[in-house]
């Protein structure tokens, strides 16, 4: 959802004194044993107190956790400073390896304290704080590391900038925020304080700072040209995980070991999805499904935006435009057609006495509290709302119950997945002096529906029940109004939510040593200000003085709100359908989100620029942030989609893991079938996507079991080719398919890079020899997208596409062998039932090899299927050689070509 509110540009206040003038710390009581180093850190001189109060005593913990992971933690001796709760982001277990066996080495300078991380073999320094002072204050923590000149840095999302980060005068801000039009050089919906540093032949490594507080991360050069990266946080500790690589994909694997392996997605979620904010009744939603069928464009999943709700209240339906009985018919019809339905759930809960979801939440004490113990209030789509406290166990019980009631297959809406939006959290209250009731009224939230109820569209909808057809009824109804008696009588005791001091908050934070946050802090306006593009810390989000049930504050946990909400949603869906993989799509995110949900890139714009930026967004989330199931709102959410741009986007989106067309209520309709050109492009794109679906699903399984990316930057595949380091207009889907879309506005030509290797045109199977140079292709029609198969791979394809993924799974396979420069090739295929959370042994993990003459299929064959391999096509000669089968996928097989 977008919220068009003027953005306030805020600059960080100039240093009152240089941080380099601060005394730093001295290390003492250094103890090393069994792969662990500990030390005391003591302030070396008079307190600097540059932005808050210096902490005099710190602790250092260094753990050689595995042979490729080094953990370095600097924290307060009193254990008062906030640390991310273990139940929100579980920590990886340490194997306590010997430092002599580790790929990374920790070096310590005792006075002034600094440290460095280097490679064991080469001695190359990867991270080095020497020459700058550690500053550790109650509301400001500063650490600076030296870097090589012009480094290749990636990550530090979420952002809409280039994939390889700028290295001069560049700043990344970590503060989750609703961000209409995904502005450049700004904090967006998620915070991922992890970066990958690629140094060519010297290898790659990763650095993850586990800290959820707001921060500015600056990448720049000194006046002397020395490169650096510095962390400036407004709280929390320094909790680093250094990942040795050395290959780029090794860093991805190692990061997944820290934050959690990605969740395996249901097979059907790789189908094509359609949504729009503005399907104003159930009849229109059904007609969209029918129109896709009529246009012969496969549609797997229909989505319900907030239109379906009764005055935008979650867990309700508009009784006149989306009556429950008809919604049940819609979903039942979709399921009969092997299609799916997903509905939105926002966090804001309408504060209305007659609203059962609210009253049941009150009974459970499920909502965040203001300092006086009353419900903390804000404004979201439903009007004046309260906010779930996702950290409170009672909230999980309440949320699970609401989901089980509303989405009960027997009496409610039998959804197939859930969509968490607005969960940064987005609050329509712009500042701490907001009166939520008045703000809701002034903003017309919730608005009354403007379209009169109707029984049908007046047009036949093929494949839908009688209720959806013309002449099915003659009822006419007026919009329902909320009577004054329904509203809570709260204006007489109105309070602003914002206390004038924090004394009551301090009292709720409990005793010392609980890692829940230091008392006495300014939770609204700390002296060090991060560059939140929406303004102050509390602007358009939850007030940062609000405490959670465990005594922590939103000041420290703001960036975790979306993660905790989607976690609660995932758990509720698991309770609803035990044993089935839940599907949750989230807008807000933090480290570890990939282990629990999918993510889309938010409320982008229908522009060529936002079309292009989907590629660096995909690469960042897939390769660095550990979130495989990602994609954009195809054709753009805001603005007016252009036919030719939408055709290009329909093609590009088909080669990304999550593929959904979605638009705002203010935007014109942009379903693929509305333009002949886009419809043609979409049919071609989806046909290719569905034939490739098992290849994508196999890559998803590899991501969920090992952490390797589902989409790869070119340098992940060619890590020594310096020409690939900055490419973010091409990508590999898996490691076999190189996707090189037309990216220039209204262009019918494209220049892309082909590494020094052999490739094969995906569409024609023609061999193409890359020379490590750009290639320009002219006359790329509006229904074409250049795609190449990398030599050395085996590509599994379904023999033909289908209208749904259920039908697709019945089609046989064709295998494409694309020999490399050495004449050999390899690949894999993963098969299971597509939906079970734990498939046990009922899975097949098949490997394919080609040695130049003999093709072999081997592996495990636990998934029972009648589907076979019809043929194997070997490329590389003057003409492809086809070996006809069939071969069962229940056992190994092989053949030899002379």
Q: Give the span between the Cα atoms of 434 and 445, in whole angstroms.
A: 15
Q: Give the span between the Cα atoms of 497 and 538, in whole angstroms.
A: 11
Q: Give the span between the Cα atoms of 311 and 256, in whole angstroms.
A: 41
Q: Which of 392, 603, 633, 735 is catalytic?
A: 603
Q: Give the span between the Cα atoms of 508 and 551, in whole angstroms.
A: 6
- For 413, residues 6+ apart whose C-beta sits below 8 A from its C-beta are 317, 324, 327, 328, 331, 341, 343, 406, 407
The residues that bridge with 208 in the sheet, in sequence order, are: 194, 241
Six token digits for residue 164: 């390889």
Residues in the chain: 898
Burial of 665 from C-beta contacts in 10 A (0-12 / 13-18 / 19+): middle
- Residue 638 has φ and ψ, to the nearest 5°, of -90, 160
Six token digits for residue 226: 């020395």
Q: Give the span between the Cα atoms of 548 and 392, in whole angstroms.
A: 8
**Cα dihedral sign for 223, 227, 232, 237?**
negative
Q: Give the span between the Cα atoms of 112 and 26, in whole angstroms.
A: 5
Q: Give the span between the Cα atoms of 746 and 677, in whole angstroms.
A: 14
* Integer CA distances (angstroms), 851 to 182, 224, 271, 333, 828, in order: 48, 54, 34, 49, 15
Q: Give the span between the Cα atoms of 804 and 826, in whole angstroms.
A: 29
421 in catalytic set? yes
32 in catalytic set? no
Six token digits for residue 481: 């109004």
DSSP 742: -
DSSP 375: B
The residues that bridge with 893 in the sheet, in sequence order, are: 857
Q: Give the span between the Cα atoms of 824 and 876, in whole angstroms.
A: 10
CA angle 881, 884, 885 (to 5 degrees): 145
- Residue 217 has φ and ψ, to the nearest 5°, of -110, 115
Minimal CA–CA distance to 190: which of 764, 787, 591, 665?
A: 591
838 in catalytic set? no
Residues 270 and 241: beta-carbon distance below 8 Å:
no
DSSP 189: S
Q: Which of 197, 239, 384, 421 is catalytic?
A: 421
Instruction: Determine the longest span between alpha carbons in the chain, in angstroms.
Output: 90
- For 617, residues 6+ apart whose C-beta sits below 8 A from its C-beta are 157, 158, 160, 601, 630, 632
Q: Which of 424, 467, 633, 845 is catalytic?
A: 424
CA angle 372, 538, 353 (to 5 degrees): 50
* Integer CA distances (angstroms), 98 to 61, 101, 103, 104, 168, in order: 15, 5, 10, 11, 38
Q: Give the span between the Cα atoms of 225 and 218, in whole angstroms.
A: 15
Catalytic residues: 421, 424, 603
């Amino acid at each position: 959802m977008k919220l068009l509110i003027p953005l306030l540009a805020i600059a960080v206040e100039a240093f009152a004194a240089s941080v380099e003038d601060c005394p730093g710390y001295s290390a003492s009581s250094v103890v090393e044993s069994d792969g662990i180093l500990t030390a005391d850190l003591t302030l070396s001189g008079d307190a600097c107190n540059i932005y808050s109060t210096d902490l005099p005593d710190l602790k250092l913990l260094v753990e050689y956790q595995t042979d490729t992971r080094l953990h370095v933690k600097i924290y307060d001796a009193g254990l008062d400073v906030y640390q991310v709760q273990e139940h929100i982001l579980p920590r990886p277990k340490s194997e306590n390896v010997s430092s002599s066996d580790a790929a990374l080495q920790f070096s310590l300078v005792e006075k002034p304290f600094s440290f460095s991380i280097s490679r064991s073999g080469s001695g190359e320094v990867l991270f080095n704080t020497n020459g700058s002072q550690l500053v550790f204050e109650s509301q400001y923590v500063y650490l600076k590391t030296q870097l090589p000149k012009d480094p290749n840095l990636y990550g530090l999302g979420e952002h809409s900038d280039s994939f390889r980060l700028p290295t001069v005068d560049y700043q990344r801000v970590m503060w989750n925020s609703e961000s209409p039009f995904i502005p450049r050089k700004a904090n967006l919906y998620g915070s991922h304080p992890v970066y990958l540093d690629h140094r060519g032949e010297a290898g790659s490594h990763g650095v993850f700072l586990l800290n959820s507080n707001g921060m500015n991360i600056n990448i720049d050069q000194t006046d002397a040209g020395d490169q650096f990266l510095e962390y400036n946080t407004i709280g929390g500790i320094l909790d680093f995980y250094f990942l040795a690589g050395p290959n780029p994909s090794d860093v991805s694997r190692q990061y997944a070991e820290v934050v959690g392996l990605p969740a395996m997605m249901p097979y059907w979620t790789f189908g094509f999805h359609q949504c729009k904010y503005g399907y104003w009744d159930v009849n229109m939603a059904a007609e969209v499904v029918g129109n896709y069928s009529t246009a012969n464009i496969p549609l797997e999943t229909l989505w319900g935006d907030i239109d379906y709700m009764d005055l935008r209240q979650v867990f309700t339906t508009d009784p006149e435009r989306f009556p429950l009985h008809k919604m049940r018919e819609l979903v039942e019809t979709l399921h009969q057609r092997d299609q799916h339905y997903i509905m939105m759930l926002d966090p804001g809960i309408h504060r209305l006495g007659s609203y059962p979801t609210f009253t049941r939440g009150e009974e459970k004490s499920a909502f965040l509290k203001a300092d006086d113990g009353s419900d903390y209030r804000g404004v979201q789509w439903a009007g004046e709302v309260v906010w779930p406290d996702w950290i409170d166990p009672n909230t999980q019980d309440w949320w699970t119950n609401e989901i089980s009631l509303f989405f009960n297959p027997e009496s409610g809406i039998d959804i197939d997945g859930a969509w968490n939006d607005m969960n940064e959290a987005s609050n329509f209250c712009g500042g701490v002096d907001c009166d939520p009731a008045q703000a809701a009224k002034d903003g017309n939230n919730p608005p009354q529906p403007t379209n009169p109820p109707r029984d049908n569209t007046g047009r036949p909808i093929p494949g839908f029940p009688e209720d959806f057809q013309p002449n099915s009824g003659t009822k006419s109804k007026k919009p329902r109004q909320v009577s004054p008696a329904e509203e809570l009588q709260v204006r007489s005791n109105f309070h602003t939510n914002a206390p004038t001091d924090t004394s009551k908050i301090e009292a709720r934070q409990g005793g010392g040593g609980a890692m829940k946050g230091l008392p006495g802090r300014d939770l609204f306006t700390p002296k060090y200000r991060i560059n939140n593009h929406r303004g102050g810390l509390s602007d358009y989000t939850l007030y940062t003085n609000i405490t959670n049930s465990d005594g922590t504050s939103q000041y420290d946990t703001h960036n975790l709100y979306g993660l905790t909400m989607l976690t609660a949603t995932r758990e509720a869906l698991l309770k609803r359908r035990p044993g089935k993989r839940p599907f949750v799509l989230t807008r807000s995110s933090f480290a570890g989100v990939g282990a629990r949900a999918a993510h889309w890139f938010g409320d982008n714009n229908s522009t060529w620029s936002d079309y292009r930026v989907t590629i660096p967004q995909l690469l960042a989330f897939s390769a660095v942030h550990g979130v495989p199931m990602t994609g954009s709102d195809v054709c753009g959410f805001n603005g007016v989609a252009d036919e030719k741009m939408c055709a290009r986007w329909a093609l590009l989106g088909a080669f990304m893991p999550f593929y959904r067309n979605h638009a705002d209520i203010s935007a014109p309709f942009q379903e693929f079938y509305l333009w002949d050109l886009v419809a043609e492009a979409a049919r071609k794109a989806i046909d290719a996507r569905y034939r490739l679906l098992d290849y994508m699903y196999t890559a998803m399984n590899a991501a969920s079991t090992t952490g390797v990316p589902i989409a790869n930057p070119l340098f992940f595949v060619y890590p020594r080719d310096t020409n690939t380091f900055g490419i973010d207009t091409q990508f590999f889907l898996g490691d076999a398919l190189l996707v090189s879309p037309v990216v220039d506005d209204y262009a019918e030509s494209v220049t892309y890079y082909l590494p020094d290797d052999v490739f094969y045109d995906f569409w024609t199977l023609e061999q193409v020899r890359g020379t490590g140079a750009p290639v320009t292709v002219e006359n790329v029609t509006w229904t074409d997208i250049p795609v190449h198969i990398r030599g050395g791979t085996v590509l599994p394809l379904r023999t033909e596409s289908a209208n749904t993924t259920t039908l697709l799974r019945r089609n046989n396979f064709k295998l494409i062998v694309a020999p490399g420069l050495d004449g050999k090739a390899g690949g894999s295929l993963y098969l299971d039932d597509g939906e079970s959370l734990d498939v046990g042994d009922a899975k097949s993990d098949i490997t394919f090899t080609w040695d130049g003459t003999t093709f072999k299929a081997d592996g495990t064959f636990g998934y029972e299927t009648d589907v076979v391999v019809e043929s194997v096509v070997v490329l590389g000669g003057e003409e492809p050689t086809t070996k006809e089968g069939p071969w069962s996928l229940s056992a190994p097989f092989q053949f030899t070509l002379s």
